[in-house]
Structure formats: structure tokens, C-alpha cells
Structure 1
Amino acid sequence: MTNTITDTTENALYHYSPITERPPISWPDGKRVAFYVGLNVEHFLLDRPSTSIWPGTSELVPDALNYGWRDYGPRVGIWRMMESLDRYGVRASVLLNSDVVHRYPQIIKAGLSRDWAWLAHGRTNSILQAGMERDEERRFLAEVVGTIADATGRRPRGWMGPGLTETFNTPALLAELGLSYVLDWTNDDQPYRLNVPGMISVPYSVELNDLMLFGNGGTGERFLQVVKDQYERLRTDSEHSGRVMALALHPFVTGQAFRAKYFDQALEFLTAQPDIWLTTSDEIAEAFLVDSAPQRGRRPDGAKPV
């Protein structure tokens, strides 16, 4: 099997593996649900459409309405969220656009002092690598990873594409750069091995995600209830095998003043649960790789042979 996946009619990146037919996963100290905050720390270009709260002006240059909404995140929202994360001792797993290094160095400094985990998240959320040729993407990924490594003093272990985008070459190219996991495939409650040597998928969520929850008119009360419901069901499911709960957040959304208390209350609830492992996506990937080291007769994704 080659590392490059070119068949566009079948997903050769991973096998189908029902969660009921896998070897059990054990988290440290007997915890049942591994929880991490996926904090999207992003930069957006002024002259391109991107995530918008009001589509009516999204094609304008400049688009003061939508750009300003997004720009609230690094200016105000993230600092408000830091207060809650600090209050409950939660380390963020930062999905970092490499342009943030140059644009908002104060955020990098604050994250380093908090020992955040740093994942590569493209150069900017206004540029996707989807459609790139292999050599172009190799250069792009190397520049993104190198910029983050230089700024943080540690090489990223994980990747999430801007807009959760990849090419068929992305996982193999990331493996060449020494990364070990991706978040782009939001199809599971457990990590699993990809058919690219050394690469796994770690759960991320497009549903337990503030853009989805608040973007569809959701309230803070609903956000809090969804967080509780997610944890409680995953804890039930994890009786015999560990699960992962990812809370995907954007500072220009959750960092708004009128949502702050609900984020605070969500962390208060989660950090009080005795069966939760408060961790980072890096540590989840590392624990899974150790726990599921390939055994004779086991498929690359850890499932039983079929």
C-alpha cells in the first residue's frame, strides 16, 4: 500500500470499524472520558470571504461587518476565554493558523505561559490547501509547521485543516513532517489508526462546536445543556472502553460577553466529573498510540480482522 491515496470513489484512508468490534481503550488513572478544548486561534484576510455572521456583505471588500465580527476573537474574545480556562485549570489544544505567530504574538506568549498544546491549522482560515498539487502542498505544510515550531519551541504533533480540508496527500505529507494525528475526519468517538503509517485520527466535532450551536440561533442555556448531555452519554458508552469528548470553540463566538458565563458553567460542570480526563489532543493521541500498539493480526485501525 502506498502512502498516497488517489482513488476518489473509495475512502482508502481508513477502514470501516464499528465501535462495537474494537479492542477496549484505557485512559490514564482509569478515567472513562478524555476531554479537550479545541480552541481555534485564527487569522483571516481582509480581502476574502470567510466565516460570516451575515452573508449579505460577505463578498464586499472590505467587509467591515463580518471581518470585524471575526476580528473580535483575537482582540477581546480569547482573553475572556482564558479567564475561564485558567479558573478551572484547563489547558487548551490550540488549532493555530501560522499567521497568528506574526499578527498576534501576545496570544502565543500567553499560550506558552499556560503550556497549551499547539496544533497546525494552516496559514490562515482564508486559504485552504484543498486542490493543491503534492509538491505545492508539501511546501505549504512545511512552512506552516516550521513557523509554529519556531514560535512555540515545539513541533506540532497534530493537524486540523482550515475548514477541515485535506487533499488525498495531506496525511502522508504530515507524517513526513513528523506529525502523528489529524482532527479533520469527524466520524468517531475514539481515536483510530489511518492507513498511513504513523498517523491516527483523533475525534473533533462539528456538532459540539460553537459555530454550529450558536450559529443556528442556539442560546447559552442550550449550549450548556448540550455539553452536559454529550458528557453523560459518552460516560455511559465508556463503561468498557474509553471515549473522547472534544469541545470545539472559536473566540469570536464563545468569547462574546453574553456567552461567557455559559462557557464558565460548562467548564465548572466538566471539571467536577470524577470520570473525566482533562487533557489535550496531543496527550490523547499519545495515550492511544501506546495503548493500541499494533499486535499480530490486528488491522491498522485497531479493529478486529474481518
Structure 2
Amino acid sequence: MELRTHNRYGYVPLRGRADYTWPSGRRLAVYFALNLEHFSYGEGLGAELAPSGPHPDILNYAWRDYGNRVGAWYMLDAFDALQLPMAALVNSAMYDYAPALVAACRARGDEIVGHGRTNAERQGDLDEAAERALIGEATQRLTEAEGRPPEGWLGPWISHSHVTPDLLAEAGYRYLLDWCMDDQPIWFSCRGGKRILAVPYPQEVNDIPQIVGRKIGGEAFADIIIDQFDEMLELSQTRPLVMGVALHAYLVGQPHRLRHLKRALRHIAKHRDRIWLTTPGAIARHCVDLPAGVVP
């Protein structure tokens, strides 16, 4: 029986792959991704603190809005205190709604990553022309605001159509973050002989699946970050690995969870001399410069 496949990458088991190192001979690359998202009021998709009622759903809208107004600023203070780099995954609507927040990330030197127009929509629901327009609109806005095009993309809601990697490669993107199938970067084949790099993005060390989906508390989520880091630091002695941490300010920017997030950040920061604290864009650039065939 032949099953349908995506035809983007072949099966290459972790054991036996070509070996390489990150800069300065480091074996574990660690990055933090802060999702900066804006949602439509009274319509559209949105993460939920409680089951939504009739629109306008002010409880969930206001809960999400707390992240942009308050929680993200607490988080930036925490990252500043430990001098930790970050990637800001930005809905282009944020430039209209909360430009000061994106500007604060820019001032820190954080990487600005494309994250669609808004998380009130899914790009995978669109036909090819409309999806191309969505990618183009978001890319243009980020390019105008940042003075250079974004290198990477995370789809709103991790949403893909069958042609999303093709459209991203054709739009000039170097990497995408939507796939969680590996702990190393992997090349995706795209139409027209193009390719795009899949940089690992976590769905386990991610506050939405854990806190909203599995209903765990801030203390347990911080423990997950620490346990993931400690084990991956040990595993990386054998091969280079990437550990990402996915964060949303309306979740871990809440003070009772922030307290535990800070504990996890301090734990990682004290090992900074043994790891590569970086961004997904820097990981992608490093992989592009490796000899052909090293990255599967």
C-alpha cells in the first residue's frame, strides 16, 4: 500500500547523519521565540482562556490583549536582565496595533520573523492566489518597517496548504518554522528546483499546547523547559541539536507564570558558555554555509 506523502523531505534517521558543530564548537543551539499576535475584535479565530461565548467575546479578547499591553513588557524586562537574545514572531497587524512593542524588540536587536497578517485567520484555508497575497502583504509590511525582508516564517496557527513551502521559497524566505518533526534543521524540496530550510520549532516546549491544551501550570511548564534543556545538552554531546522555546505573552507574561519562566531562563543562562544562544535566522544562515549534503 502506497500512502500519500508531502514529497518535501525523505526519511533520514538521526543516527548516522553527517556531524557538524555550531559556532565556537558548540553542540546545542537554543533560541526563544516570542509570538506577537493581534486578533480581530468580535470575529475570527483566537486562543481561549475559557470557552467562547457569543461575539463580541470580550473575556478572551481582553485576555489576549493583556499580552501586548502588559505581559510582553514584563517578558522583555526578564530577557533584558539576563541579556538573552530572542526572535519576535510578528503578525504584520502589530505594526498598526502595537508598534511600540515591535520597536522594543527591534531596539534589542531581536530577529523579526514573519508570522502572517493576524492570528484571526489561517492561511491554509485559502486558495493559492489568496495565500500568495497573504504572504506578500505580510512580507511587504515587515520589510518596510524593518528595512529588510524577513528571513523566516511561522504560519498563523501553524497553518499550511499543500503549496505553502513553495510560496515561501518563491517569496524569498530562507527558512520556515512550522514543522516539529526533528531536532536538527532539514531541507525541504520546493517546486521549480527551489528549497527552504525547516528550522525546528517546538510543540512540546510551547506554552499554548502545554498550558492551554494540557492545562498544566506555570511551574510545570518551567520544569519542562529545564528538563528539555538538561537532556538536550547531554544528548548534544553526540550530535548538534536545536532547542526552541515558544512563548506567548498572554500566557507566560502573566505574573504567576512569569515567576517560573524566569527560573527556567536563569537555569539556561547560567550555561551560556556551553551553548549557542541564538535566533532561528542565525541557525539557518549557519546551515546554508555548511558543505552540501551535511544537512539532510
Which residue in 2 is equivalent to 1:135? Answer: 129
CA shift for structure 1 position 265? 1.3
CA shift for structure 1 position 55? 1.3
Which residue in 1 is equivalent to 2:19? Answer: 24
Which residue in 1 is equivalent to 2:257? Answer: 259
TM-score (norm 2): 0.93
Letter in structure 2 aligned against 1:268: R
- Pair 1:51-2:47 in alignment: yes
CA shift for structure 1 position 61? 1.1
| Residues 33, 245 of structure 2: 8 Å contact kept | yes
Q: Kindly report the root-mean-square deviation, in angstroms, between the aligned alpha carbons of the 2 structures.
A: 1.6
Which residue in 2 is equivalent to 1:3? Answer: none
- Pair 1:209-2:206 in alignment: yes
CA shift for structure 1 position 124? 0.3
Letter in structure 1 aligned against 2:225: V
CA shift for structure 1 position 43? 0.4
Residue number among 241, 244, 252 corresponding to 2:242 in the alignment: 244
| Residues 113, 153 of structure 2: 8 Å contact kept | yes
TM-score (norm 1): 0.90
Which residue in 2 is equivalent to 1:157? Answer: 151
| Residues 270, 276 of structure 1: 8 Å contact kept | no
Which residue in 1 is equivalent to 2:275? Answer: 276
| Residues 114, 142 of structure 2: 8 Å contact kept | yes
CA shift for structure 1 position 56? 4.4
Letter in structure 1 aligned against 2:203: V
Which residue in 2 is equivalent to 1:179? Answer: 173
Alpha-carbon distance between aligned partners in 2 of 1:122 and 1:159, rounded to the nearest angstrom? 8
CA shift for structure 1 position 275? 1.9
Alpha-carbon distance between aligned partners in 2 of 1:175 and 1:220, rounded to the nearest angstrom? 37
Alpha-carbon distance between aligned partners in 2 of 1:19 and 1:271, rounded to the nearest angstrom? 27
| Residues 219, 257 of structure 2: 8 Å contact kept | no
Match runs of 1:38-187 below 5 Å: 38-46=33-41, 47-57=43-53, 60-187=54-181
Alpha-carbon distance between aligned partners in 1 of 2:51 and 2:245, rounded to the nearest angstrom? 26
Percent identity over the alignment is 34
CA shift for structure 1 position 137? 1.6
- Pair 1:199-2:193 in alignment: no
Deviations for 1:17-45, whole angstroms, at most 9, x for unmatched residues?
Answer: 11112111310011121011111000001
Letter in structure 2 aligned against 1:107: L
Letter in structure 1 aligned against 2:96: H
Deviations for 1:257-294, whole angstroms, at most 9, x for unmatched residues?
Answer: 11122111111110111321110011011112212x32
Alpha-carbon distance between aligned partners in 2 of 1:75 and 1:85, rounded to the nearest angstrom? 17
CA shift for structure 1 position 133? 2.0
CA shift for structure 1 position 112? 1.3
Q: Return structure 1 stretches of 4+ with deviation > 6 angstroms.
A: none
Alpha-carbon distance between aligned partners in 1 of 2:134 and 2:158, rounded to the nearest angstrom? 16
| Residues 114, 138 of structure 2: 8 Å contact kept | yes
| Residues 63, 250 of structure 2: 8 Å contact kept | yes
CA shift for structure 1 position 167? 1.2
After superposition, the Cα gap between the structure-2 partners of 1:56 and 1:147, relative to the gap in structure 1 and judged at 3 Å, is: closer
Letter in structure 1 aligned against 2:27: R
Deviations for 1:196-250, whole angstroms, at most 9, x for unmatched residues?
Answer: 2231100011110111222233223212221111011111221132101100000
SS of 1:21's equivalent in the other structure is coil
- The gaps in structure 1 that reach 5 residues or longer are 1-7
Which residue in 2 is equivalent to 1:4? Answer: none
